[in-house]
Structure 1
Amino acid sequence: MGDGRIPHSVGFERRRYLFCLFTVSVFVFVFSWFFFLQSAGSPHFIEHGFLPDKKLFSVVDNFKSTPRDLSKEHHESPPTIATIQDEVKEQPSACEPNKTTLKVFMYDLPSEFHFGLLGWKGTDSVWPDISNGVPDYPGGLNLQHSTEYWLTLDLLSSRFSNRRGPCNAVRVDNSSKADIIFVPFFSSLSYNRYSKVNPKEKVSLNRALQDKLVAYLRVQHEWKRSGGRDHVILAHHPNSMLDARMKLWPCMFILSDFGRYPPNVANIDKDIIAPYKHVIRNYDNDSSTFDSRPILLYFQGAIYRKD
């Protein structure tokens, strides 16, 4: 008889435990709803000081307490020429180095890596005096990979005292004060013009320049300091930097796409995609201007990509 009471008492204790647990759960549920409804009924229950933006809630409170005057909203006068001119005056009219977003150190590579590929020959400097004229860039298919040319010119002119308009990047002389290190090698132009091996030569000029660039960068203090991770190298043509890309992979590449790169060499986490230069012909009888087209539909290059 004593053995038969043990299961009964165990079952009773289990049911009592479940009942107590259920009672506590219901009590907590009702209690939480009570506080929720009370807080919902009072807009000042929450202390604004604990929230991210006090101004946001002050605007909301004013919106609730003050009725909107729709007549004023629909009869506000449009901005005048004077107000527009005042806004324009507030914007910087020239490049201000101390207010730029990006500080860039650019290597003074020999001219054979950049403007020398365009036929320019310097005597006293590795850079042309672009204040008196800029070496011409070839047209045709070369234009869609001219990013290297324009970025270099932008940095060279960033400290001109008479430069018009603001600038987002400025060239600095001290690499320790720079955000990034720019490598001014016109790699796409080098591939387009000098990738063929000339008679009596073992390698092409394009291959030779890539080998020289790798050797140059590996002994630079800036490359050793970061392992190349803060360096920007242009390889916009899909076949440019074909021999050096595997050796310089820690850098940030500026590419047209990732089509011919393994993911450990080029990827979206570290590299930049710059679209092809616009080479599409205008539509027939199209009188619209660039500014009148608010939507960019696509970029199209002039090379048929098989991959």
Structure 2
Amino acid sequence: MPPPPISGEIRRAAMKRLALLAVPALLLLSLSFLLLRPTSPPLLPSIPDHRRRLSVYVADLPRALNHGLLDLYWSLPHPDSRIPASSDPDHPPPRGGHPPYPASPLIRQYSAEYWLLASLLRPSAPASAVMRVVADWREADVVFVPFFATLSAEMELGWGATKGAFRRKEGNADYRRQREVLDRVTAHPAWRRSGGRDHIFVLTDPMAMWHVRAEIAPAILLVVDFGGWYKLDSKSAGSNSSNMIQHTQVSLLKDIIVPYTHLLPTLHLSENMDRPTLLYFKGAKHRHRGGLVREKLWDLMVNEPDVVMEEGFPNATGREQSIKGMRTSEFCLHPAGDTPSSCRLFDAVASLCIPVIVSDDIELPFEGMIDYTEFSIFVSVGNAMRPKWLMNYLRNITKQQRDEFRRNLARVQHIFEYENSHHSEDGAVHYIWKKIHQKLPMIQEAVTREMRKPEGASIPLRCHCT
């Protein structure tokens, strides 16, 4: 066979060289196209940088709905109708200076609303290490609603025109305030953008915002527990064959459990003395709902040696009794009352009295950030109801174990401090903002779903299983 023409070989060699040169040329052309094309938002939002501070917009509400309520409270002409006049520490009111948050134990235990707003009004406070206040709602991650909902509810409960009128709307000053807050907040474009899913309401009192809870259910609720939703949850549990409680307004996924404000002074570890009493409890024996466990426990333990079970109200006398009882006892009993939790737990922490929490499903603040099993004893309701079981269990805890629990209590005391905690990087206010910041990806996801919802769509509230 004759050799192929030289021109054919040259042509094939040239084509090979062109093919080799075409690869980098195409790569260069693709890169140029990417660099020169107009920018557009990514299909997927970027993952939030947890080193970035939380941006907070404070909703524009009149002073009458927050600090103005303190002026109104201190101007009330007579004491709280729910307690004896001699037991109300706030009437007559103090003189001079800015009106403080009430000292009445019925109200002070829920004072988170006051301290959180204080942290937002002081941009140089240590809480600013985790959050910052922005003037433009479009730059905000969350919107804080500065309504003193607890103080508003408590004034209606203690000074309302008619006893039992709280659940009625007519003549109810608290309802009027709730309605004003909601009308103002929902009229703002920030609410319309997110459906309220990035708005924060502080509802530490079980009765706070009671009349409008269904309307603010999508929002981030700061609560001490879910006890204020007991009736709604019970109705849900009774309407289905499973044991599931279908929360439609509150969820550990979107909401934040915050501490009560403790009412007893803090005892430092260096001040700790002998504790001759094994177990201490002070409070009402007869309660409702989950508090029936408390009544049964009382009957089981009231005659046990080394156990003190006292009834009483947290007035001046009761306060001194509680200080003495908690500081001289190894363990402090914490059964449910009208609500699953109470400030008694945080009084025990402040007193270095090891909490004994009798509950199957209590919600606690800052879980995932602190480990309660390092300084608390958890007992199921079933075991606590067995005669002698709890006492035998506590007596078998060694002194070495008790000392370790107490050292751990001392290490977490500051985490539950509200007063002046907006000046501290490790107090309750700081931890609340950190907890909200942790939920930011979930909040942003909920807002994204809300923004793409078709006009006219109606989506029912769903159970959030936790």
TM-score (norm 1): 0.53
Structure 1 residue identity aligned to 2:204: H
Name the stretch that deviates more: 169-178 or 225-234.
169-178
Pick from 215, 218, 222 the counterpart of residue 250 of structure 1.
218
CA contact (8 A) 1:100 1:167 kept: no
Structure 1 residue identity aligned to 2:110: H
Pick from 247, 255, 274 the counterpart of residue 271 of structure 1.
255
CA contact (8 A) 2:59 2:185 kept: no
Pick from 139, 150, 167 the counterpart of residue 129 of structure 2.
167
Tell me whether 1:146 sits opposite 2:111 in the alignment.
Answer: yes
Aligned to 1:61: none
Report the 3-state secondary structure (helix = DSSP H, G, I; strand = E; otherwise coil) of the residue aligned with 1:277.
coil
Tell me whether 1:208 sits opposite 2:176 in the alignment.
Answer: yes
CA contact (8 A) 1:100 1:170 kept: no
Name which structure has the greater RCO, CA cutoff 8 Å, separation 6+: 2
Aligned to 1:182: 144
| CA drift at 1:260 | 2.3
Deviation string for 1:47-91 (max 9, x for gaps)?
Answer: xxxxxxxxxxxxxxxxxxxxxxxxxxxxxxxxxxxxxxxxxxxxx
Pick from 194, 198, 208 the counterpart of residue 161 of structure 2.
198
Report the 3-state secondary structure (helix = DSSP H, G, I; strand = E; otherwise coil) of the residue aligned with 1:119.
helix
Tell me whether 1:109 sits opposite 2:77 in the alignment.
Answer: no
Structure 2 residue identity aligned to 1:137: Y
Whole-angstrom distance in 2 between the partners of 1:118 and 1:246: 27
| CA drift at 1:285 | 11
Between the aligned residues of both structures, percent identity stands at: 29
Q: 1:268 to 1:143 in 2, by over 3 A?
A: same
Whole-angstrom distance in 2 between the partners of 1:154 and 1:135: 17
Aligned to 1:7: none
Structure 1 residue identity aligned to 2:161: N
Aligned to 2:383: none
Structure 2 residue identity aligned to 1:294: R
Runs of 5+ in structure 2 lacking a partner?
1-50, 73-96, 163-168, 234-246, 273-349, 353-405, 417-466
Whole-angstrom distance in 2 between the partners of 1:177 and 1:283: 43
Q: 1:295 to 1:111 in 2, by over 3 A?
A: closer
The two structures, once aligned, show a CA RMSD in angstroms of 3.3
Structure 1 residue identity aligned to 2:253: D
Deviation string for 1:84-104 (max 9, x for gaps)?
Answer: xxxxxxxxxxxxxxx862110
Whole-angstrom distance in 2 between the partners of 1:110 and 1:165: 24
Q: 1:156 to 1:268 in 2, by over 3 A?
A: same
Q: 1:268 to 1:287 in 2, by over 3 A?
A: same
Aligned length: 185
Q: 1:148 to 1:282 in 2, by over 3 A?
A: closer
Aligned to 1:79: none
Runs of 5+ in structure 1 lacking a partner?
1-98, 121-132, 300-307
| CA drift at 1:294 | 1.9
Deviation string for 1:193-251 (max 9, x for gaps)?
Answer: 1345437x932211110111121122110000000000000111011111011111110
Whole-angstrom distance in 2 between the partners of 1:164 and 1:255: 23
Whole-angstrom distance in 1 between the partners of 2:127 and 2:55: 17
Whole-angstrom distance in 1 between the partners of 2:268 and 2:146: 39
CA contact (8 A) 2:61 2:184 kept: no
Deviation string for 1:162-190 (max 9, x for gaps)?
Answer: x5785322211011111100000000111
| CA drift at 1:135 | 3.6
Aligned to 1:47: none
Whole-angstrom distance in 2 between the partners of 1:249 and 1:113: 20
| CA drift at 1:295 | 4.9
CA contact (8 A) 2:220 2:255 kept: yes
CA contact (8 A) 2:119 2:127 kept: no
Aligned to 1:26: none
TM-score (norm 2): 0.36
